[in-house]
Structure 1
Amino acid sequence: MKIVVLAGGTSTERTVSITSGTGICKALRQKGHQAILVDIFCGIENVDRENPFPSEYDVDAASEYMSAFNDRIEQMKKERRSFFGPNVLKLCEAADIVFLGLHGANGEDGKVQATFDLMGIKYTGTGYLSSALAMDKGITKQMFLMNNVPTPRGVSMVKEEMTTDLKALGMEFPVVVKTCCGGSSVGVYIVNDQAEYEQALKDAYSYENEVVVEEYIKGREFSVAVVDGKAYPIIEIAPLQGFYDYKNKYQAGSTIETCPAEISPELTEKMQHYAEAGAKALFMEGYCRLDFMMKENGDMYCLEANTLPGMTPTSLIPQEAKVLGIDYPTLCEKLIEVSMKKYPAQDFTL
């Protein structure tokens, strides 16, 4: 297949996305596909019109080209009107499918997906509506509650209606303050007193205009991939320090990850059920990953859903797939396969 692996972009997770995209592109080429790595925002200036998907291709060189723009992104955003970089849409239209290796805003929020739907471009992952729902943590919480998926009690606040009085929100310390539409735990703060709470609000609002304040669940952290409606083995994430924030997610050796998680068969079944129910509540198609906290007494809470979770070879979903005997390149192919199901029936072989 001719595949564009789309990565990079303008979000706070740009560098993570480049790492994911590089791994995906290498894996797909290992499987014999004509995959190329493209930065959705920076694009490619010089494209071989006769052969845009060459059989010989240097993925690392493409990754380095993308990374060279990192320090200029903010300036480029000010100078540009269009989000899509040079030749990006033309390459995507020429591909059999686009593998979305994007993370965060303008990647996971449904905007790119809606554009591609209108242009007839096939892509991996869920559609624009479920992407938008899952990106907003306040809406996600409401959808979970409506569908009997346990989730921490909380409220969302826009900056104009912000209150520093936790009691007015019916809550008490400790609480979690997080941006409404952030990702990779950027803009997430666990606060224990009034001073920390006010600082966390200030910091969170520096990212966007809406935040979520929710009760803090003390316990163990887990994550569950849902692929084609079925839960994968549960992975437990045990940070050596603090919680599973941006640093612990992407700095090697910061966490101990155990898959399958060492919990009872009953709790395993329960969490996998809630993962599948959470994905269904948000109308997920293809694949996603849901994050959980579990108290010592076994009470569990679904925190959020990730529509385009990290896909480096050592990311959580590849670790879960490995337990099922699915290696990383095969997983990348499988995610394409399940993503194609959202399109009208047609002859399709990888």
Structure 2
Amino acid sequence: MSQSSSTQSLDSTDNAAQTAPASHITDAKAFGRVAVVCGGNSNERDVSLNSGAAVLKALQNRGVDAVHFDPKEQDITELSSYDRVFNVLHGRGGEDGLLQGVLQWLDIPQTGSGVLASALGMDKVRTKQLWQGCGLSTAPFSLLTAQTDWQQVVNTLGLPLIVKPVHEGSSIGMTKVNHLDELPLAYETAAACGDVVMAERWITGREFTIVIIDDEAYPVIRLEPADITNFYDFEAKYKRNDTSYYIPCGLSESEEQHLQALSLAAFRAVDAKGWGRIDAMQDHNGNFWLLEINTVPGMTSHSLVPMAAKARGMDFDSLCWHILAQTVA
């Protein structure tokens, strides 16, 4: 989940809070032996390895006894010999409650959310159903199967719309659909990534991401893919160099505060803890729509969480220390 970028407006002089929060941990020995868990078997393996390498280097720079741990190459029970885990295992196995359950059973402190929030957050449909139940605005959607009446989907959601695998991250398997006859292929593309597929109403407008750390919404980032891309897809996130990120995000102060409050409510509704990211859209009428939650965001020097942290006055090494410190009571 390490986004590459070209144009970045990271001037945070307009943000009210620019002082990095102080950590209650000042001695690296307090962490003990730390496993940076990354890699795994999901479709996000390569992205996770990049995040893990960056986090590992950052922690070692600060004197932490941290080591690389890849569940694809090592037995997961070997984690019992560590004092705590920094989890950057993106996707299935690491972001869906499985790793969280193992660590909870082994009584090993871990970064980020627990079993419930991780399982909910990895399931886009159940997350949206929960937000709807809480009265939080999220785009209308429909579940799809091979037997779905495509015309009925279009009648319900309109065009364009977006088709997504329900249990994937990093925009894997997503397709923007502009015409009815594109729906079957979009479904097949998403279904190849998992057994549950959804279609969601397309929101035309500006896209934002809101980083949350320690129950605080950080400065909002506006994402602006190049015009030739359909949306902020896998290509725009990881392969292109012409996606732009803006802090300040271009919202008025009251709009940004409203979006931060909405995102915090969405984060808390899922019972997410520690750190994470909410993605949202603003339509042409100024309304905000929640897209999804990410409970194990990308963590390289060019990812979105470090961008927001930098605007908050925190460099990458300090950010990794701060997140790891959440595991120490």
TM-score w.r.t. the length of structure 2 is 0.87
For 1:300 and 1:134, locate their aligned partners in 2 and report how far apart those are by CA, in whole Å. 19
2:168 alignment partner, one of 163, 169, 182: 182
Q: Which has the higher contact order (CA 8 A, sep 6+)?
A: 2
User: What is aligned with 1:303?
Assistant: 291
> How many Å apart are 1:339 and its aligned residue?
4.2
1:171 alignment partner, one of 154, 157, 160: 157
User: What is aligned with 1:80?
Assistant: none
Answering whether residue 165 of structure 2 is matched by residue 134 of structure 1, we say: no
User: What is aligned with 1:272?
Assistant: 260
Which sections of structure 1, spanning at least 5 residues, go unmatched?
A: 44-84, 341-345
Amino acid at match of 2:192: S
User: What is aligned with 2:27?
Assistant: none
- Contact kept, 8 Å, 1:233 with 1:260, in 2: the verdict is yes
User: What is aligned with 2:71?
Assistant: 40
User: What is aligned with 1:53?
Assistant: none
For 1:336 and 1:24, locate their aligned partners in 2 and report how far apart those are by CA, in whole Å. 10
> Would the alpha carbon gap of residues 324 and 193 (structure 1) be closer, same or farther in structure 2, given more than 3 Å must change?
same
- Contact kept, 8 Å, 1:155 with 1:169, in 2: the verdict is no
Amino acid at match of 2:193: Y
- Contact kept, 8 Å, 1:152 with 1:217, in 2: the verdict is yes
Between the two proteins, what is the percent identity of the paired residues? 34
For 2:277 and 2:159, locate their aligned partners in 1 and report how far apart those are by CA, in whole Å. 28
1:102 alignment partner, one of 81, 89, 111: 89
> Would the alpha carbon gap of residues 109 and 169 (structure 1) be closer, same or farther in structure 2, given more than 3 Å must change?
farther
User: What is aligned with 2:52?
Assistant: 21
Query: How many pairs does the alignment contain?
Result: 296
Answering whether residue 209 of structure 2 is matched by residue 198 of structure 1, we say: no
> How many Å apart are 1:101 and its aligned residue?
1.1
For 1:181 and 1:144, locate their aligned partners in 2 and report how far apart those are by CA, in whole Å. 17
Aligned residue for 1:170, secondary structure, equals helix
Aligned residue for 1:249, secondary structure, equals helix
Which sections of structure 2, spanning at least 5 residues, go unmatched?
A: 1-30
Answering whether residue 317 of structure 2 is matched by residue 329 of structure 1, we say: yes
> How many Å apart are 1:136 and its aligned residue?
0.5
State the 4+ residue runs in structure 1 displaced beyond 4 angstroms.
none
Aligned residue for 1:165, secondary structure, equals helix
For 1:32 and 1:302, locate their aligned partners in 2 and report how far apart those are by CA, in whole Å. 39
TM-score w.r.t. the length of structure 1 is 0.82
For 2:284 and 2:177, locate their aligned partners in 1 and report how far apart those are by CA, in whole Å. 21
2:109 alignment partner, one of 107, 122, 138: 122
User: Quick check: 248-257 or 94-103, which moved more?
Assistant: 248-257
For 1:233 and 1:166, locate their aligned partners in 2 and report how far apart those are by CA, in whole Å. 40
